[in-house]
Structure 1
């Protein structure tokens, strides 16, 4: 249980990236959206590199024991999907879409996990789904408040990604990969194609 709490705290620390960008913008510290994109690419490449060293070279830091789950010992770990998906959202979408999508992964996913019964259902229970939707909508609202339908669409995307497992053959797609992408895509669709 202690390791799970540590994982959730580390998971939540990704919100610091959003805070970094927002503070830089508010105080004109020079971290433009383009530079933030480069930072995210560097972090994602670094994460992929660490996973390569762990899986192929045998780098075995004790930190990995605490922060990876048992099933991740021999496969690409969730933190790798986490950084890749956040980076994809930042590269493909503007801040008003990408930043709340990042927060949905960093904050919404651990909160959803805290109310989950950790069962292996392909669709999570109503309490988990409602919790993820409400938290995601609250996270999206400050960024998309002028378009309430986009707030709801982003929250729906995050909820589907978190609450419905996708299986490709024997591989179950990690929600760390899908939450920011689903949320961003649905918000973008509303902003682009729904008359407001």
Structure 2
């Protein structure tokens, strides 16, 4: 795969934001209410940026957004990322939610970066993805998740999260954003393993 500076910046930003959210939630500084407020403000800012260029936000979006998103859906990736984190905090108990956010943050970012730079083997579930990225995503998101849940739950959550990341889920013509599906399915996997 070809080196893409924008995607590297996006994934590093994704990783850093996810780790910050996990730390702030774990310390009790952030909760679902605060993330909900951030999500609403993000949606409002996105809608405003379609009409006018809000100086600081527009500059940041120009640095991080894909051209199509900047024009049609400014901040789309960040909005879905925050929504995925919020969904985890609402649906799961704290440690499961934090583990699933780690899988989203680390697995998705690292998987893409490793796939872009070192990947050679096409993924059997998605020809746009590379298997080396998925394997790296599983390993490193497991390391992040095991901070909050036991090793079996962390591994199962990481595997399910990275499988979901590699599949393009669609509903009619709508592609379901993996920033929603990764934490949802990895958290659900951890929860189900725990109750079985």
Same fold (TM over 0.5): yes
**Deviation at residue 97 of structure 1 after TM alignment:** 0.5
Rounded Cα–Cα distance in structure 2 between residues aligned with 1:70 and 1:152: 35
CA RMSD of aligned residues (A): 2.4
Match of 1:74 among 72, 75, 95: 72
**2:188 is aligned with 1:185:** yes
**Deviation at residue 184 of structure 1 after TM alignment:** 0.8
**2:32 is aligned with 1:37:** yes
Per-residue CA deviations over 1:32-88 (Å, capped at 9, x if unaligned) read xxx612111111111122222223x34461222221112323136111100111001
**Deviation at residue 89 of structure 1 after TM alignment:** 0.4
**Deviation at residue 8 of structure 1 after TM alignment:** 2.2
Counterpart residue number, 1:175: 178
Give the TM-score normalised by structure 2.
Answer: 0.81
Asked if the contact 1:40/1:90 (under 8 Å) is kept, the reply is no
Rounded Cα–Cα distance in structure 2 between residues aligned with 1:134 and 1:127: 11
Counterpart residue number, 2:22: 18
**2:110 is aligned with 1:115:** no
Asked if the contact 1:85/1:178 (under 8 Å) is kept, the reply is yes
Counterpart residue number, 1:103: 102
Per-residue CA deviations over 1:2-49 (Å, capped at 9, x if unaligned) read 433322222122211211233x35xxxxx4xxx612111111111122
Asked if the contact 1:132/1:159 (under 8 Å) is kept, the reply is yes
Per-residue CA deviations over 1:84-127 (Å, capped at 9, x if unaligned) read 11001011111110011112222221111112249997623321
Counterpart residue number, 1:28: none
Rounded Cα–Cα distance in structure 1 between residues aligned with 2:60 and 2:35: 22
**2:6 is aligned with 1:3:** yes
Counterpart residue number, 2:149: 144
Counterpart residue number, 2:47: 52
Rounded Cα–Cα distance in structure 2 between residues aligned with 1:143 and 1:16: 15
Runs of 4+, deviation exceeding 6 Å: 118-121
User: Structure 2 regions of 5+ residues with no counterpart?
Assistant: none
Give the TM-score normalised by structure 1.
Answer: 0.81
Rounded Cα–Cα distance in structure 2 between residues aligned with 1:136 and 1:107: 5
Other structure's SS at 1:16 match: helix
